[in-house]
Amino acid sequence: MAQRYGFFQYLRLKFIVTLLRAWVAFGSKEKQQRDRDIVPPEVPKENIRIPSRERGRYIAAHLYLPVGYSDSLPPSKPLPVLVNWHGSGFIFPLLGTDALFCARIARDTGVAVLDTDYRKGPENTFPYALHDAEDVLQWVSTQGHRFDRTRVAVSGFSSGGNIAVVAATALRKQLEDMNIQIILSFYPPVDIAKPPEEKKVPHAINRHPVWMLHLFNDSYAPDVSSRSDPTISPALANLEDFPPTVALITAEGDTLRPEVNDLAERLITGTKKKVINVILDGVPHALDKGCEGGTIEWTQRERSYALATNLLKESLK
């Protein structure tokens, strides 16, 4: 059941989030255009509407296919697939901001990439975003003519990285017809139960204000007592629930880095899974979005995307 707000609490959150959405839509245009300008144009992209569990409702998604494939020229056998969730702070409608990553992965690995939307707070609190993630995965499992269900990967950025970790743990256990082999999670919040005031790094870069982190958490999971649930804070998931390969990519200047590193260390010491824990030096949260050529962010983005490419080739071969 969805978590509930008091009437005035919802109005306050709705007002602030509406202002922030307008600010982000206006202020991020240049960065988003910078990324769109270098999306490989030869990669086929299709707009998909995936049925939701709510009758008559659909989940928007973008399907990126390897070069040479399309609906008119389908592959001779099902393709491995990567399902991706974008960053949003759990509040921003930013489907499409991972287009550069998705198109490059499709081009460089031969993997189909499904970049999917999910519902945002405060209008739709936990667990609606996870319901959408589960519905997408269930839909993928029905598409045996398109996707090889034995070679599935999940990925996500920031809050989408949180959803990807939950998909690779709690949701993965429910998917009998699908084998998620690898997760790629970029700078995710994995311990929402930990107060934002306690999230610190020695040299934070472009740190989110503490009030904004509270806003993200309150918009997604207003019931503070629920935030230790592993489907909200997947750092607390059973370690054996993770897939065979776990790649956690964080930024040195991101205050979310310690909780991700703690999860990586637990996986390394407590399991025999392949764990890749990469800290990108000298960059902030969302380092890969809107990079300018010649900057350290550009260099570290290229490093992280190359790592993702190689791991997917290795895991989904």
Report d(CA 283, CA 220) in Å as an integer.
26
Q: Put residue 169 in one of left, alpha, beta given phi > 0 → left and psi -120 to 50 → alpha.
A: alpha
Instruction: Please state, in angstroms and as integers, the Cα–Cα distance from residue 241 to each residue in 32, 97, 171, 275, 296, following that order.
Output: 35, 29, 10, 14, 35
Report d(CA 31, CA 289) in Å as an integer.
7
Residue 166 lies in a domain: yes
Domain of 87, CATH number, reads 3.40.50.1820
Residue 253 lies in a domain: yes
Per-residue pLDDT of the chain (317 residues; tens, 9 = 90+): 788 888 899 999 999 999 999 999 999 999 999 999 999 999 999 999 999 999 999 999 999 999 988 766 667 789 999 999 999 999 999 999 999 999 999 999 999 999 999 999 999 999 999 999 999 999 999 999 999 999 999 999 999 999 999 999 999 999 988 999 999 999 999 999 999 999 999 999 999 999 999 999 999 999 999 999 999 999 999 999 999 999 999 999 999 999 999 999 999 999 999 999 999 999 999 999 999 999 999 999 999 999 999 999 999 98
Beta strand segments in 102-260, E = 112-116, 147-157, 180-186, 245-251
Instruction: Supply the range of the domain harboring residue 233.
Output: 7-315
Largest CA distance in the chain: 56
According to the model, what pLDDT value does residue 314 have?
97
According to the model, what pLDDT value does residue 72 have?
67
DSSP class of residue 224?
Answer: G
Residue 60 lies in a domain: yes
pTM, full prediction: 0.96
Residue 1 lies in a domain: no
The number of beta carbons lying within 10 Å of the beta carbon of residue 175 is 17
Q: Distance between alpha carbon 220 and the CA centroid of its chain, in Å?
A: 15
Residue 199 lies in a domain: yes
According to the model, what pLDDT value does residue 176 have?
84
Number of domain units in the chain? 1
Residue 2 lies in a domain: no
Residue 130 lies in a domain: yes
Three-class SS state of 311: helix
